[in-house]
Structure 1
């Protein structure tokens, strides 16, 4: 989860819908678009976001390390809502508001500009991403076994987010294709920007 990624945000909303209709629990993990895209050529319009994006995920790592994995869900929910729905940007005001909403101490914001968190951030990112490969994003099948490439898939980009049983049916389909040995890709052109509903 990188709070600034619109596609990951929409996927997380879908997974929260799936939890309501299928027996699963979504576990939020830290990933960073800034780490993922290091050394890659990115369009000019994304370059500043790659720089600004470090603060959010550093704070997520610090919160996780200081208060446990369970704080990632409420912190991500708060940051994502503020970034994508409230258009609050990536700055310290947004992070302070998210920490307060998630019930976390205000001093966690000190991690935003502290690059000593980057080693742990990179480790968390790679722990989640390396098993599925660099070509895929979230979600990762939680039933993947160690020592085997996980049944990870590039986030299904269904937007607006499917709700209720439609969310469950999409999940069923993703599991079906991801668990098929030798299945690697299903994609079609996208004709719209992210829809946050």
Structure 2
């Protein structure tokens, strides 16, 4: 089984989902492909509070650095850098600033010159293509994350309030795999639990 996760690094729910996916994949020896999605692109032109647009712009800068890391060092660099950024932003409550991204690059063992990509709109095409691919896999506009199992459809989520323990984590991925194999399955939703 392979798992593809489209993520925006600013999203706290996506961070928890990514840790679940990473844990399950590592224990099962299955690959994870990290793909970019952009809440800035998704919400472009929408009437949202300025603080959200500002957070999305900062996240786009982080996505550019992640894209540059992938271009030079491949998927392992995306995994390491997203892990370092997410830890600082979602676990330590740092703001997603250039200083935080720079510190995350050091944490991930990546060269500091990758930070120059934060201001390089040349990476926006790649980010946009990845974003649109994720949206097309879901089939309708959806937020972060988007998860796909093997070559199956993409799903928004799953949204997890905390990273599930091993047994629950395995049950959840098995449930997603089962749902992915049922062509007529379309959507499932329940009340969102608060982050924990």
2:129 aligns with 123
Report SS of the residue matched to 1:131.
Answer: helix
The reply on whether 1:10 has 2:12 as its aligned counterpart is: no
Instruction: Give 5+ residue unaligned stretches, structure 1.
Output: 145-149
**Cα RMSD (Å):** 1.9
Question: Is the deviation greater in 121-130 or in 93-102?
Answer: 121-130
2:4 aligns with none
Distance 1:62 1:169, change over 3 A: same
Distance 1:142 1:185, change over 3 A: closer
Residues 171-190 of structure 1 aligned to structure 2 (within 5 Å):
171-190=173-192
Instruction: Return the TM-score normalized by structure 1.
Output: 0.86
Deviations 1:77-112 (A, max 9, x none): 000001101111111110111111111110110111
Instruction: Give 5+ residue unaligned stretches, structure 2.
Output: 1-6
The reply on whether 1:132 has 2:138 as its aligned counterpart is: yes
1:143 aligns with 150
Shift of 1:45: 4.1
Distance 1:52 1:139, change over 3 A: closer
Instruction: Return the TM-score normalized by structure 2.
Output: 0.87
1:95 aligns with 101
Distance 1:188 1:71, change over 3 A: same
CA contact (8 A) 1:17 1:163 kept: no
Q: Considering fraction of residues, name the structure with more strand.
A: 2
| Superposed structure 1 runs of 4+ greater than 6 Å apart | none
